[in-house]
Chains A and B, each alone.
Chain A
Amino acid sequence: MKNKSPNFGIILFIAIGVVPFAAAFIYALLYSFGVIGVANKGFTTEFWTSVVASGEFFRSFLYSLLIALVAVSISVGGALWSTLKFRKRLEQKFLSFVIYLPLAVPGIVTGFFTFQLFSKGGFFARLSYQLGWITEASQFPDLVNDALAFGIVLSFITMIMPFFVLLFLNVYKNERIEALSVLAQSLGANAKQVTQRIILPILIKKTWVLIVLYFIFLLGAYEVPLILGQESPQMLSVLIIREIKQYDLDKISEGYVFAVMYTLIVSAAAIVLFLPKKRRTYET
């Protein structure tokens, strides 16, 4: 009986985590080659050729990559700064409760809030009008559905920065960084050295996996870019859904090509990022 529970756990993981993913991937792969799909006529590489030739996937991928990178960098940077600067205050009951609140707000709601606040007819535009800073809605800067993806990045930061603050606070406590800092100072290190050599390396090293996972999560985000993004280029998930739901049924398979390409790239990146590190940990 004793050795059956781990086996059952693995099987459950495979049944719930691996089989549906693998089945969906195989379905998408077959669809992308026209093997399945009621509007398809059999195996063809035309959808792959067309997607690769159009270059839209690569533009969209690069655009998503940049947005995710900027959002994660600002969120992690902001969270680190907040942790270092306001750690004591953030540990107080009220603030530690308040910081949990944004985590309870779904992405789609955050997207709507951002739109309501920052659109040309939104709260800040109206406030600017009342204060006489602008005389027409069109004079308010382009902050949603804009080329620089300001609205998307802002929403992402709102969604994930509180999480990183909480994470860093916990790591700070669990890794006894306070004690290590005192020790370093007693050995002659100054405040800057303590921050750069002790606090930041420990916080980053202990959380980098989660930082990368959040980056991948933002890369594939859907609701926020759907509400706040522009029509071209679009973030990957929005592009994939658009293609899969398109009017021309003969081209729906192109959406599955996008989905397969995205899955392959993200899976490959995850393998490259996570596997070697794990081995090194075991080696040491």
Chain B
Amino acid sequence: MSILQKVPFTILSILVILSCTENPSTNDEALKTAPWTEIAQKAEGSTVNFMMWQGSPAINEYINNYVVPSVKEKYNISLKISGGQGPEIVQLVMGEKQANIQSGQVDMVWINGETFFQLRKLNGLWGPFVGQLPNAKHIDMNDPFINTDFQQPVKGMEAPWSINQFAIVYDSARVQNPPKNLQQLTEYLERYPGTFTISNDFTGMTLLKSFMAELGGSPNSLDGPFDEEKYNGLSQKLWAYVNGHKKYFWKEGRTFPKEQSKMGQLYANGELLLVYGFSEGGIEEKVLNGLYPRSTRGYAWKNGTIKNSNYLGVLYNAPQKAGAMQVIDFLLSPEAQLRKANVNGMNSNTVLNIESLSADWQEKFKTVAKRQYGPEMKQLEKNAIAEPAPEYMIRLYEDFRKQVIEK
């Protein structure tokens, strides 16, 4: 065999070897009904890969300095963190499905409703598994903001990790009466031109959903399955409003920030005076870090802003499903949830039903320090609305580009 013949053969052999993967565990299905002691036993000593958004120092501190050592100490689990959020997780699952990889790189993921919808569409999640977790008994599964994600029943396919509400954020030192409805937003824009914009991402589209619900006449106007006729009617009004006012937007509406983090920078710079975001606006951490001015405050839109949960899921080809379940159960424990509520740390609302906990834990949760700058979720809850069906988001993304950005 000449070298010309040998080399392609070697390359082909390497490619074949690389494309082969480990066999999937045959016991995965049994985990859905196995007693917890068996799952815990199986989880011990495993290495679990967790893909999550790593864009916040407070979240990274919580995970790296608290969760990772805790699961090692308690369950001898080595938790490895890799960076990636919605699109990266979806791309990973699509790639692995395409390549028919039975034993994936990642075991568990941190997702929101947008990614849940995509992963469900791809059959990328494994479950149901939430019912198996001992700490799940402390979660109120009858809460519609927990058991339904983007109008889709969760059905144990993802475990709620935090619950939060979308809030409008403003600088109280520079804006006296921030707008609470579209009519007031018009007045605001005329008074403070160039200080408001819509980010072309999940956050911006969520704001547009709130606007659309207001145009629909009630907080519940977008509830239920996707309604094409309703969407067409309301979106027409929405684009007319946005295009009619965009001359008062940041950069006169000629361009829009790609994502919320950029909008945050513009707010920190003082270019924008009115922004918005999930986790009740994400104010506390940014003020404490010195990014946002101390005069920053948050509130809900009068017709309501979206309230939702974010979740932890196990991927369909996770090699360590038992290990992932054990880690998720730990993350839902009162201990981990209390730590996560620390106002100087991750500062997120617990998904646990406090009343179901022992008196000891109830006391601890009730005495958690309050936020100094951002609003508490309880203050906004009366103006909470549910996430509409995912198709609204798909259409808003597409039409915001066609009807606003490209016009």
Chain A residues proximal to chain B, CB less than 8 Å = 4, 7-8, 11, 15, 19, 36-39, 119-121, 137-138, 142, 145-147, 226, 230-232, 244-249, 252
Contacts and interface: CB of A to CB of B under 8 A. Distances in A.
Given A38-B94, A232-B406, A147 B397 contact: no
B97 interface: yes
B34 interface: no
A44 to B, nearest CB: 17
Nearest to B97: A38
Interface stretch (B74-82, B102-110, B250-258, B327-335): B250-258
Contacts of A37: 94, 98
B397 A246 contact: yes
A36 B98 contact: yes
A38 B98 contact: yes
Interface in B95-132: 97-98, 114, 118, 121-122
A240 to B, nearest CB: 13
Given A15-B11, A121-B266, A145-B255, A247 B91 contact: no
B3 interface: yes
List the 3 closest pairs (A to B, CB-CB), nearest first.
Answer: A121-B269, A230-B255, A245-B87
B13 interface: no
A3 B216 CA distance: 78
B240 interface: no
| Chain B interface size, under 10 / 10 to 19 / 20 to 34 / 35 or more | 35 or more
Given A36-B98, A249-B121, 12 more contacts: A11-B7, A37-B94, A121-B270, A138-B194, A138-B195, A147-B254, A231-B200, A231-B255, A231-B256, A247-B114, A249-B90, A249-B94
B293 to A, nearest CB: 13
B16 interface: no
Nearest to A15: B11
Question: Which residue of A4, A19, A232, A244 has the most chain B CB atoms within 10 A of its CB atom?
Answer: A232
Interface in B266-317: 266, 268-271
A230 B271 contact: no
16 contacts: A11-B3, A11-B7, A36-B98, A37-B94, A37-B98, A38-B98, A121-B265, A121-B269, A145-B251, A145-B255, A232-B255, A232-B406, A245-B91, A247-B114, A247-B118, A248-B397
A119 B269 contact: yes
B359 interface: no
A39 B122 contact: yes
A274 to B, nearest CB: 27
Interface string B1-32: 00110011001000000000000000000000
A230 B397 CA distance: 16
Nearest to A125: B269
A188 to B, nearest CB: 57
A7 B5 CA distance: 11
A38 B398 CA distance: 21
Contacts of A4: 3
A118 to B, nearest CB: 13
A147 B114 CA distance: 31
Contacts of A245: 87, 91
A226 B251 CA distance: 18
A11 B4 CA distance: 7
A148 B287 CA distance: 34
B59 interface: no
A270 B87 CA distance: 33
A119 B271 CA distance: 10
Nearest to B256: A231
B185 interface: no
A7 B3 CA distance: 8
B7 A248 contact: no
Contact of A147 (B90, B255, B393, B398): B255
